[in-house]
A and B are shown apart, each in its own frame.
Chain A
Amino acid sequence: MDWSLFFDLTVSGLTLGSLYALIALGYSMVYGILKLLNFAHGDVYMIGAFIGWFALHGLGGPLKPDVGAWFAVLGMFLFAMLGCGVLGVAIERFAYRPLRNAPRIAPLISALGVSIFLQNSALLIFGAAFRDYNTFSLIGGKTYNYGNLYLSVPQLMTILGALGLMLALTLFVSRSRVGKAMRSVAIDREAASMMGIDVDRVISVTFFIGSALAGAAGVMFGLVFGQIYQFMGFIAGLKGFTAAVIGGIGSIPGAMIGGLVVGLAESYATGYLPQGSTFQNLYVFALLILVILLRPSGLFGRAVIQKA
């Protein structure tokens, strides 16, 4: 067995997995509360990557940032998370809220429309060229290694950053007042509103948090892989959703574990399965089908009894 390949794949799988987990959280939280599949979520992640790029260039660019390199990185995250959060709230307000009592298929189609709108607006405004984060010039190409295990700085940052964000989210949902309101709205929206919870506000907060996490994931993607483009959100969104389903949609720890599972599976498929580097997306798709067939409620989900 080639251990250095295995470690390489594991590290890149964990990195990818952290990104997918962050995206999956947004899907899962929104699905838990609204029972709505937010197709536009992947595109919010793409917009996050672009906001990060513009923030970086607003702060002087990767070659000669006006502030210290680490402050530049921090600024990118801040702007991307804020921008995406606001975008997510706006999407909910104008594309989903009017449809809350419409037939189930209407918000799905509306979500599809938002996704197409965001993708092509980005294409029109930002142009078709790939944008380069140029991480190398910004924070150098330092790599940590322990034996066969190589970890670049952006990879380490992504894994630790994602962990930190997820920890913060878990604390927020389990400890804070708003988190408690979110949980109760997820259990029964009507009952929650009768208990005096402002359901609209809770839903807005959920969209804000989910979208902000996606924005952070977008910046992480840019830092790790260097290049961002208009259609990166589509496939990433699909995989984030796969992660959410594997973990059990609606469950927050499920989304985290699901993300890691999808990331590792994709990475190992690239390395070990035939034609993996071309067809890794097809292998992830196969994984999704398997999970849906064998355990439709996911690893952490509970089977729900469907009510009218």
Chain B
Amino acid sequence: MAEDGTPDLPAPPDAANRPRIGVDEWVAQVEGRRARYRGLRGALLERFERLPLAARFALFLVPAAVFPLLTNQGNVFRYGLFTLVYALLALGLNVVVGFAGLLDLGYIAFFGVGAYMYGILASPQFNNHWQAEFAIPVVVLVTALIGLLVGLPSRRLVGDYLAIMTLFFGQAFVVFVNNANRINFPFFGHVDLTGGANGLPNIDPLNFFGYKLQTTNEQYYLLLILIAFVLVFLYLINQSRTGRAWRALREDPLAAELMSIPVNRLKLLAFVFGAAVAGLTGAIYGTIATAALPGDYDIGLLITIYAVMILGGFGSIMGIVLGAVIVSSVPELLRSPGNARPIFYGAILLTLIVKVRPWRRLAAILAGLVGFGFAVHAIAHAAYPRLVAGSAQGSDRFAHALNHWMLYPNNPGKIADVAYVVLVAGIVILPQLRPLLRTVLLVPLFYLVMFVWENLLLEQISGATRLILLGALLVALMNARPQGLFGKAYVEIV
């Protein structure tokens, strides 16, 4: 009691220990409840996570910034630009799928909308030649708006409906741009909006305040700066209230709603954010390609971006950058046969050595592989000479040795195609079989790998073969590690 008789106010809570109002602590701790890796990878990841933030970003950005200085323009274009475009797209998609847990299968359409919008604003098509500082904000706003419109009907729907709606939207976009060159509008009459199947050619280069970004290096650095911005922004938003709310939404929408998180608004926000990033990337991609072609925005790219994101791991920002590097540059590296063969056989041997334990099993498999090859070769030689009529590419000693071991059909086309499909299906199925069967089947499978490699992939990694591989990658990764290569699994608390 004080002197005038009023009761004492309760003492102010201890500043250090008082509950932090407005911070959803349980959600904020979510990173602490992840599985830890053991061994070398665990140690590396832990070391990486202890680095200060700036150092972590620098670890990615500095090599990327130095890359164009070390190599020529052709390589920057082939490896650099596409990696950055993939990374930027995957980062945007990651907000939608990885943070908020919405499966957006029309994402590439927003990328396309960006490129086409920019083409309409800055190309000879309508004789508009806007400066980039006006055109890009307009493009981003329009794509965000379209994202809002597509997201609105899906707002109250569960994940599956959103997936199919967006898939349909993506398809509708492709149909639309393919045919929008002959629409008769009620008041304007005939307007060629998108150039139909020929696309919009001759898009202007990015033109900031009169300065044109035309060389590959300039475009590369622009993209890199954008990625740096997006990375920092994503990091900040991930730490913010919104980021935590997104994660809560992803883990359990129903529980999040009961915690008075505005689920619908947050879903739309994530969706619109993803659309805006895709639109921005699309505008820049349009100027790099100097054209907007309908075929570029089809399902193939969607799968590629999903592969990037899944390789990296949902919600892991750094993993995605690595995923983009892998997905975009590995097929390019393998394209020239000179460095492809050593990389390939090296990778096979390394996989076997790392994965197969104990060493007796490894030796058995390797011996089995060599024996199997000679046996198959001998049988084929006796029974179907056509199968060994060809010969290995190259004339070094290794190629010569391969001639006695591997089958080289005279005209491998169809046989190799079928073998490829069987192989990819086998790779998906094999890990799910019983251990003994798995070991036994491993030998023919690896032989098949090399057969397909020598007869099909050494010539071409593109189009259908690439997509099959990516499709199988999605299935296999979802089965083996749903959290992606670099993501971390949750410790389930029930």
Contact = CB atoms under 8 A, between A and B. Distances in A.
A125 B417 contact: yes
Nearest to A291: B153
B347 interface: no
B165 A289 contact: yes
A92 to B, nearest CB: 12
Given A281-B171, A306-B254, A106 B468 contact: no
A38 to B, nearest CB: 10
A55 B159 CA distance: 39
Interface string B164-175: 110111011001
Closest 5 CB pairs of A and B: A113-B474, A116-B471, A117-B471, A113-B475, A110-B478
Nearest to B468: A120
Interface in A249-308: 274-275, 278-279, 281-282, 285, 288-289, 292-293, 296, 306, 308
A115 interface: yes
11 contacts: A37-B160, A37-B164, A107-B478, A108-B103, A112-B303, A113-B470, A114-B475, A242-B168, A296-B156, A296-B157, A308-B252
B470 A125 contact: no
A305 B111 CA distance: 36
A275 B183 contact: yes
Given A116-B471, A275-B183, A94 B171 contact: no
A99 B474 contact: no
B310 A109 contact: yes
A107 B159 CA distance: 12
B70 interface: no
A60 B226 CA distance: 61
Interface string A112-149: 11111101110111000000000000000000000000
B126 interface: no
Contact of A99 (B158, B159, B471, B479): B479
B421 A238 contact: no
Contacts of B255: 308
A102 interface: yes
Contacts of A121: 421, 424, 464, 468
A105 B306 CA distance: 12
Given A104-B159, A125-B418, A281-B175, A116 B429 contact: no
A108 B159 contact: yes
A279 to B, nearest CB: 7
B464 A281 contact: no
A103 interface: yes
Interface in B163-195: 163-165, 167-169, 171-172, 175-176, 179, 182-184
Contacts of B479: 95, 98-99, 110
Contacts of A107: 478
Contacts of B158: 306
B146 interface: no
B468 A124 contact: yes
Nearest to A289: B153
A124 to B, nearest CB: 5
Contacts of B101: 105
Interface in A38-93: 39
Given A95-B428, A125-B418, A278-B175, 9 more contacts: A31-B160, A99-B482, A102-B482, A109-B306, A113-B472, A116-B303, A120-B465, A124-B421, A125-B417
B420 interface: yes
A288 B165 CA distance: 8
A279 B468 contact: no
A278 B183 CA distance: 10
Nearest to B255: A308
B443 interface: no
A306 to B, nearest CB: 6
B97 interface: yes
Interface of B: 97, 101, 103, 105, 153-154, 156-161, 163-165, 167-169, 171-172, 175-176, 179, 182-184, 252, 254-255, 299, 303, 306, 310, 314, 414, 417-418, 420-421, 424-425, 428-429, 432, 464-465, 467-468, 470-475, 478-479, 482
A103 B489 CA distance: 11
A285 B306 contact: no
Interface string A164-191: 0000000000000000000000000000
Interface band, chain A: 35 or more
Contacts of B105: 112
Contacts of B159: 104-105, 108
Contacts of B425: 117
Interface string A224-261: 00000000001100100110010000000000000000
B193 to A, nearest CB: 13
B161 A292 contact: yes
B482 A108 contact: no
Nearest to A286: B172
Nearest to B430: A94
B428 A116 contact: no
B7 to A, nearest CB: 45
Contact of B175 (A123, A282, A288): A282
Contact of B157 (A106, A109, A292): A292
Given A279-B179, A285-B169, A293 B153 contact: yes
Identify which of B101, B420, B428, B471 gathers the most chain A CB atoms within 10 Å of its CB. B471
Contact of B468 (A35, A117, A282): A117
A110 B475 contact: yes
B153 to A, nearest CB: 5
A194 to B, nearest CB: 19
Nearest to A282: B172
Contacts of B153: 289, 292-293
Contacts of A125: 414, 417-418, 421
A234 B299 CA distance: 10
Contacts of B97: 105
Contacts of A108: 103, 159-160, 163
Nearest to A126: B417
Contacts of A234: 171, 299
Nearest to B474: A113
Identify which of A98, A109, A115, A279 gathers the most chain B CB atoms within 10 Å of its CB. A109
Contact of A281 (B160, B172, B470, B474): B172
